[in-house]
Amino acid sequence: MAEKFPKVEGGGSLILAWQVKNKKVLVVGGGEVAAGRVLNLLNADAKVTVISPRDGLNDEVAYRIDHREVQYFDRKFEPSDLDDDQITMVLTAVDDPEASSQIWKLCKERKIAANIADVPPECDFYFGSVHRDGPLQIMVSTNGNGPKMANIVRRRIAANLPPNIGNAIAKVGELRKKLRAVAPGNDQGPKRMKWYVAVVMLFKSTKLTYSRMSNVCLQWSLEDLCDMEEEDMSQLLQYYTPDKVPSLNQIRLGDDPDEWKFDGSFGWACVV
């Protein structure tokens, strides 16, 4: 019986997409590592506060400060900086192991999630190497064992992705929102999900051969999704009620959704 289920592999991390939009995050330090942390946080729409003496600022961090993208205090960290109960997390990036450990202990006392740069045992979470293409985010984590290796793996993955994958995902996201407006009821949930899954390409591959996806999709390709316009979406949604899934060409040819028959001879799944 046990052979039917995945084997448990301990020692990993629970990889999540932490939503920090409009939440306060404290960054202690202003060097190169801090610059990367600050950019990641701003990309996630967090409210960032940086604490660091001015003479220790990286050019990028100084730029963020000068352009008021972050709140800034020109001094070293003080325990009272953690008194704000709105602080969601603390990130330290300073060349002072003793000071970093002290901040870690203070965060534990206040039950604030913290990441102490280059000290895995004193991290509630890790920063992986991230590939970003519009709404697409792919993170590679080595659980603190080899950050440089994570960067190499991330580059390998990114190099094998279609250049337009982010745009395709954005278009699918727009379609999903419009579908919920057309069929908002909870009772429509199962049908809505089934129809949506039929539209979205299902990538069934265990190899990094995504650059060939557009050649093996039996119906819509990434290029089709990228080319899909507002009018195409409106036309496509007319096929929801009769529960049909047309091609982009059929939509643009103006096929009547009440007359067009889907015989099941093709699907939307991609196989490699």
Task: Give the C-alpha separation, 102 to 94, whole Å.
Answer: 12
CB 61 within 8 A of CB 42: no
Using the structure block, give the residue that is written with the tokens 């039917």: 4
Q: For 28, which DSSP code?
A: E
Given 118, 227, 232, 255, which residue is catalytic?
Answer: 118
β-bridge mates for residue 133, sequence order: 136
CB 210 within 8 A of CB 156: no
Evaluate the CA torsion angle 187, 190, 196, 198 in order and state its sign: negative
Active site residue 95: no
Q: What one-character-per-residue DSSP string does 197-262 give? A: HHHS-EEE-SSS-GGGHHHH-SS--HHHHHH--HHHHHHHHTTTTTT----HHHHHTT--TTT---
Cβ atoms within 10 Å of 43's Cβ, excluding its own: 11
Residue 232: both structure tokens together = 């195409």
Task: Give the C-alpha separation, 242 to 113, whole Å.
Answer: 49
Evaluate the CA torsion angle 111, 114, 119, 120 in order and state its sign: positive
Task: Give the C-alpha separation, 72 to 87, whole Å.
Answer: 15
Report CA-CA distances (Å) from 197 to 43, 65, 149, 176.
29, 44, 35, 10
Residues recognised as catalytic? 118
